[in-house]
Structure 1
Amino acid sequence: MTAPELEPPWHPVQLRVSLPPRPDVLAVARELTRAFLALRPADGAPAPERIVEDALLLVTELVSNARRHAPGLCRLHLSLHPCRLIVEVEDSSPLLPRLRPADLSGRVGGIGLHVVHRVAAYVRTVQIAGNGKRVEAELDWLDLL
């Protein structure tokens, strides 16, 4: 199946927000993501519920990791395209996330990045000049149409 044809030029619907280090940051990030995905992109089709749930999972894991491993603000950027969503989270830590062996012993931490890689079509990390990094993950739903 191919992506829907769109009239050029087409631009994604985007949300960029700085998230302060507060106790409810994950709930705020999830609420913003759910509200954002209720918007209709240029093709007029809302994101399927499975994608909304996967997006909430990605946002939760990526923001949680940013809060856990980097001081200060983190930035959430959502970019909605026809049949795909790009989730980006920036933080101030120059240390790149690394997949470590999954620890299923019940301790907190250690499996979030595995979840992100399992759910997303792709994941990559980009160093930000000066300081910090951006973790990008893409969900697509062309196969759900």
Structure 2
Amino acid sequence: MHFPVSGIVEAAAQPTVLLVDDDENILDVVQESLRDAGYAVLTAANGLQALQILTEDAGKLDVVFSDVSMPGGMSGIELAKHAYQVRPDLRVILTSGYSPNWLPELPPNCEFLPKPYEMSDLDRRLRRKRRQSDRAAPSE
């Protein structure tokens, strides 16, 4: 028998995403879509809120998905740099409506997803980043 592969992540392997965006509508839609796809989601409306979550809950996080341009004194790029200081193995995906050519240099190991994006593209990148991390993890 052949069964179709589901787009849902199994509950036992539910990765946790820190979603950071200053646009409340985007935050709500992406959060709901990620939860529907089986991800646990923490949200922040700006880089400073995200940094607080990173400081308190870094061990719970699998990936940070952040907008690059945000008000409040900290961009997604600066957030990524702080995230790597808190947890060097943390996966970070940045997004922006601006071309990457117009953005400051992204930190090493950051992936860029241009806006507008499809949720299937984000899900695929989240899964790919997870597989890369799983391969890099030492086996027991």
- For the aligned pair, the TM-score class normalised by the smaller chain equals 0.3 to 0.5
Greater relative contact order structure (CA < 8 Å, 6+ sep): 1
Which has the larger share of strand?
A: 1
Bigger helix fraction: 2
Q: Which has the larger radius of gyration?
A: 1
Using the size of structure 1 for normalisation, the TM-score is 0.32
TM-score w.r.t. the length of structure 2 is 0.33
